[in-house]
Amino acid sequence: MIIVFGSINLDIVTRTARIPGPGETVKGESYQLIPGGKGANQALAARRAGSETLMVGAVGKDAFADLALENLKRDGVDLSQIMKVDAPTGIANITVDENGENAIAVASGANAKADASQLNVLRQVDGYLLTQNEVPEKETHLAHLKARELGLKIIHNVAPAYKLSNEELAEIDWLVVNETEALIVAFGAGISAGFDSVKAAEALAQQTGNNVIVTLGNKGAFSFGPAGNHHGKALSVDVKDTTAAGDTFTGAFAAALDQGCSVEDALSRASVAGSLACTVFGAQPSIPDKAAIENSL
């Protein structure tokens, strides 16, 4: 089972020829309202990859809440531990350029009131807790401690990235970072790796004893640590939108481990899933199911 403690947003997505610079306005023809949030995206990815999944988080009491939860509900994610709070549902303003690259500004809203005590209703369970950095850091830390009590393994996606304390690093079984996040976390841990994200991830694994995965876009992903060193190859795809590719990778990786795959196989499946997510516009609409992943392996 996968338990996700994290953010739930509604994405406001605009396509433009290019991403505007500071003080610049760039026109786009239209926009879409698409369910998102790193926590919700990863929960949906894990569910579509075939694992029983519980989403734990918070939404507002507004019209955006039902829209934000729509895909999770339809795909069978357990929403019994979603709180409705006195704050607006979180939103993300996403600009996507003609090359599929994106720039994202997030307003936390209800996510700032996500509460780790929501996990108190759980009992001992075999599985994984999946977390990110879009809810309060303190609550994520408490969620990790609760997961340890329950016997869950912890996969933490350090996005958005910040320095992690030694105590926080000690709580985590798997650390998932992209190229930029690897450098930020490594620097915060006193590691100098220049601009080489792979070296940063490998050094983090050696220093902390964590398993560390670094995702590298079309170069796939590398993992280092006690579970061994592995490389998952990405697919060669026509990139339309990279939004949620990293979330898809993380959710699919968690689901593969949950279903008994080896680390090497899980990394391959996750890399394929992340690649497929780049071929469809929008966050959650782009997340592939288990059949699509297996057909592309």
State how many domains the chain has.
1
Is the pLDDT score of 229 beyond 90? yes
Task: Tell me how far apart the alpha carbons of residues 92 and 111 are, in angstroms, rounded to a whole number.
Answer: 12
The answer to the question of residue 263 being in a domain is yes
The answer to the question of residue 15 being in a domain is no
Alpha-helix runs per DSSP H in 110-172? 137-150, 166-171
**Token representation of residue 252:** 């699919």
**Token representation of residue 8:** 């739930």
Task: Band the pLDDT of 205: cuts 50, 70, 90.
Answer: very high
The answer to the question of residue 26 being in a domain is no
Of 203, 199, 200, 198, nearest to 220 by C-alpha is: 198
**Token representation of residue 26:** 């760039």
Strands 28-36 and 9-16: antiparallel
Query: In CATH, what number is assigned to the domain containing residue 152?
Result: 3.40.1190.20
Res 98: pLDDT: 87
The answer to the question of residue 215 being in a domain is yes
Domain that holds residue 176: 2-7+38-88+109-296
Give the chain's mean pLDDT: 94
Task: Tell me how far apart the alpha carbons of residues 5 and 20 are, in angstroms, rounded to a whole number.
Answer: 32
Q: Is 98 exposed, middle or buried (0-12, 13-18, 19+ CB in 10 A)?
A: exposed
Task: Tell me how far apart the alpha carbons of residues 211 and 175 are, in angstroms, rounded to a whole number.
Answer: 6
Query: Rounded to an integer, what is the distance from CA 32 to the centroid of its chain?
Result: 21
Task: Band the pLDDT of 76: cuts 50, 70, 90.
Answer: very high
Structural contact between residues 278 and 239, judged by C-beta atoms closer than 8 angstroms: yes
Res 165: pLDDT: 86
Phi, psi values for residue 206, rounded to 5°? -65, -40
Structural contact between residues 153 and 60, judged by C-beta atoms closer than 8 angstroms: no
Res 106: pLDDT: 85
Secondary structure letter of residue 83 according to DSSP: E
Please give the average per-residue pLDDT across 181-188, as a whole number.
93
Is the pLDDT score of 124 beyond 80? no
The answer to the question of residue 155 being in a domain is yes
User: In one letter, which amino acid is 189?
Assistant: A
In a 3-state reduction of DSSP, which class is residue 46? helix
The answer to the question of residue 25 being in a domain is no
Give tens-digit pLDDT for 237-293.
999 888 899 999 999 999 999 999 999 999 999 999 999 999 998 889 999 999 999
The answer to the question of residue 53 being in a domain is yes
Task: Tell me how far apart the alpha carbons of residues 260 and 257 are, in angstroms, rounded to a whole number.
Answer: 5
More confident residue, 121 or 147: 147
Q: Which residues contact 123 (CB under 8 A, 6 or more apart)?
A: 150
DSSP 189-239: TT---TT-HHHHHHHHHHHH--EEEEE-GGG-EEEESTT--EEEPPP----
Is the pLDDT score of 164 beyond 80? yes
Task: Band the pLDDT of 170: cuts 50, 70, 90.
Answer: confident
The answer to the question of residue 254 being in a domain is yes
Task: Band the pLDDT of 128: cuts 50, 70, 90.
Answer: very high
Indicate which residues carry an active-site annotation. Answer: 247
